[in-house]
Amino acid sequence: MLKDFLKPKIATKLTGWFLLITLVPLAVIVYLANDRGKEQLQHEIMNKLVVMTVERVSNIETYIRETQRTLELLVLQPSAIRALEILEEAAQQSGLKSPDYAVVEGKVRPGFSRYQAITGFQDLSFITPDGVVIFSLNRKQDLGVNYKIGPLHDSAAAKVFDLASTLLATEVSEFEFLRGMNEPEVFMATPFLKSGKMIGIAMVRLNTKEIYALASDYRGLGETGETVIGTKVGNQVVFVAPTRHDPSAVFKRKVNIDADPEAPLVQAVQGKKGQGISIDYRGKEVLEVWRYVPFFGWGIIVKVDAEEVFAPINLLRKNLITILVITMGLTIFASILISRSISNPIQILQKGTEIIGNGNWDYTVAMSSRDEIGDLSRSFDRMTAHLAKTTASRDQLNAMALQLQRSNKELEDFAYVVSHDLKAPLRGITSVSTWLKEDYADKFDDEGKHQLDLLRSRALRMDALISGILQYSRVGNVEGDEELADMNLLVKEIIENLNPPPRIHIAIDGTLPTVKCPRVRMHQVFQNLISNAMKFSDKPQGEIKVRCEEQKDAWQFCVEDNGTGIDPKNFEKIFKLFQTLGAEVGTENTGVGLALVKRIIELRGGRVWIESKLGEGSRFFFTWPK
């Protein structure tokens, strides 16, 4: 069954080509779509990520600046300066725990509370140039803490106080994870300046949540996108913000700088920017962009899962492959159908030819379809009908041939028997007439003897005629089987047998071929023609020549003599049975010879004819098909 399918049938060929034509372009498209699509998408997304990252960094920057401006505005307010001064005075004169201080504090507090409500600072505190906290809006416990020398002197707040008082400019602290807090803190400090002299520091605690919010804006990052923010702590980079996939990562997840110097977070924290595809902290492949965030010294990564990014492309590819497979199925199906529609009729036709070829002329293959195959089948039937009418089937031919053979044989047997039965009495007549002449010679006069001679000669003639008939009838039989015979030898043999007198010279002109013939018959042909030529030789020097000319499908022989020649009006006549020219009544010429020659030649499919001129000689031609 499989072998059958693999034969170069129409179905196979058609299927193969269809598949090739449809699937190759599709496959190329799928590949290209996948490949290019991925590339393009990656490019696009990366760009977006870069934009987003830059945006976020910029947003943070803006936030800080705004906060800075707000704070700086505060410290310029005369009321704020005045508040600081009286607070300082009260703290110095009476101490932070005194009721005087409390009164002053109570007076200034509402104003700053309002301020806090508007700005959203987590806390507002004032610190003396010595580092003592003399006012805290939300953390009363901080009053009196000395950043310079107290236990908090190492804290981020202390550091930023120090920086601000030294540089006389607004500073932002690091993010600090302190004392049992759930969240880190970050501070901003600004100096109060009066007449160019620093009289205190205003410090606020920033809203880390807001900062995170800016950084961790997942808008536009799909389902899996997130930001990772880290800061350098020792030889590690520590996650400072919760991530989408790990909200508890804050200060818990770390990346060792020495162990993984090429890690994006490490790179970012060191101030290097970049982008690429790699494996993230979850072990998943991601597209990421990393940048450095000033102010806080952060490294920020904005990333998105590769899976999510390429999802549309992958889906497209899956869909295309599905289409491919379906197309393949449809193509195979269609091509099989189509090829069936072609090969089935052809098979019907083929079977038809076999049946008809085996002799059944009545079989028809007619198909009703109107296409070329239908036309073929109808014209095929017409041909068959025509053949049936005009051609005898092999059986008929065989029967006819057999019949013909039988008739021939019957004729031959008949002629054979008849000729012998006719000959016997003739023999008697010749014998008796001879004896009469011998025994009664004295009783017969010359006239009587002559008449006896006539009697004898007629009887002899009759015998010759009968022999001629027998010979003539025998030409049709199969006794003379064909063989290759050298005509040169044959003719030479005949010349010898005929034993021409010296005055007649018979020769072969050139060389005669070796032909396929019944030797006996060919012998009869040449014998008759040459002996005829001898009979009609009237010149003192008789020349008889035999030659042959090769033609495409036959040999053309010629027996030429320089004898009496033949009148053209007799050309047809002399080939007739028993037809002779001139008075050969007394001779043995029965007129059978040429008729015999003609019969032999024509039965073989050749032609015999004469060219002659009276008085000059004749040329007898005959063709012998190869």
Partner 1 sequence: MKDGRSILLLEDDEIDVTAIKRALKELNIKNPLIVCENGAKGLEWLRANLNALPAVILSDIDMPVMNGLEFLDKLKHDPDLLKIPVVILSTFREESDRAKAFKLGVAGYMIKPVDAGKYLSVMETIAAYWRTSELPS
Applying CB under 8 A, among 155, 430, 528, 590 the residue interacting with partner 1 is 430
460 contacts partner 1 (rule: CB under 8 A): yes
CB of 473 vs partner 1, minimal distance in Å? 13
532 binds partner 1 (CB under 8 A): no
User: Least distance in Å: CB of 527 to partner 1?
Assistant: 17
Give the nearest distance from C-beta 413 to partner 1 in angstroms. 12
Give the integer Cα–Cα distance in Å for 147 and 161: 8
Can residue 576 be called a binding residue for partner 1 (CB under 8 A)? Answer: no
Separation of alpha carbons 417 and 148, rounded Å: 165
Stretch that binds partner 1, among 286-294, 367-375, 415-423, 545-553 (CB under 8 A): 415-423
DSSP symbols for 76-124: H-HHHHHHHHHHHHHHHHH-TTSHHHHHHHHHHHHHHHHHHHHH--SEE
Contact residue for partner 1 among 252, 420, 516, 613 (CB under 8 A) = 420
> Helices in 440-572 by DSSP H: which ranges?
446-474, 487-498, 519-535
Q: Which residues of 273-292 are buried (b: 16+ CB within 10 A; e: fewer)?
A: bebeeeebbeeeebbbbbbb
Q: Least CB distance from residue 419 to partner 1, whole Å?
A: 9
Asked if residues 504 and 537 have their Cβ atoms less than 8 Å apart, the reply is yes
Instruction: Report if residue 434 touches partner 1, rule: CB under 8 A.
Output: yes
CA angle 68, 138, 243 (to 5 degrees): 65
- Cβ closer to partner 1: 435 or 609? 435
Contact 364, 40 (CB under 8 A): no
8-state DSSP, 203: E
Q: Which of the 8 DSSP states describes residue 9? A: -
Distance CA 222, CA 304 (A): 8
435 binds partner 1 (CB under 8 A): yes
Instruction: Give 482's strand partners.
Output: 518
424 binds partner 1 (CB under 8 A): yes
Q: Does 426 bind partner 1 (CB under 8 A)?
A: yes
In the complex with partner 1, the residue whose CB is nearer, 288 or 463, is: 463
Residue closer to partner 1 (CB basis): 414 or 416 = 416
Closer residue to partner 1, CB minimum distance, 456 or 599? 456
CB 348, min distance to partner 1, A: 56
Rule CB under 8 A: is residue 431 a binding residue for partner 1? yes
- Smallest separation (angstroms) from partner 1 to the CB of 461: 11
CB of 436 to partner 1, least distance (A): 11
Strand partners, 611: 619
* Nearer to partner 1 (CB atom), residue 97 or residue 427: 427
Q: Which DSSP letter does residue 185 get?
A: B
Contact in structure between 426 and 466 (CB atoms under 8 Å): yes
Q: Which of 226, 305, 463, 560 binds partner 1 (CB under 8 A)?
A: 463
In the complex, the smallest distance separating the C-beta of residue 603 from partner 1, rounded to whole angstroms, is 20
Q: Which of 427, 503, 516, 573 binds partner 1 (CB under 8 A)?
A: 427
By DSSP bridging, strand 236-239 and strand 226-233 are antiparallel
Q: Are strands 504-508 and 542-550 parallel, antiparallel or unpaired?
A: parallel
- Closest CB 524 distance from partner 1, rounded Å: 15
82, with CB counted inside 10 A (0-12, 13-18, 19+), is exposed
- What tokens appear for 139 in the block? 């953390």
- Residues at the interface with partner 1 (CB under 8 A): 416, 420, 423-424, 426-428, 430-432, 434-435, 456, 460, 463
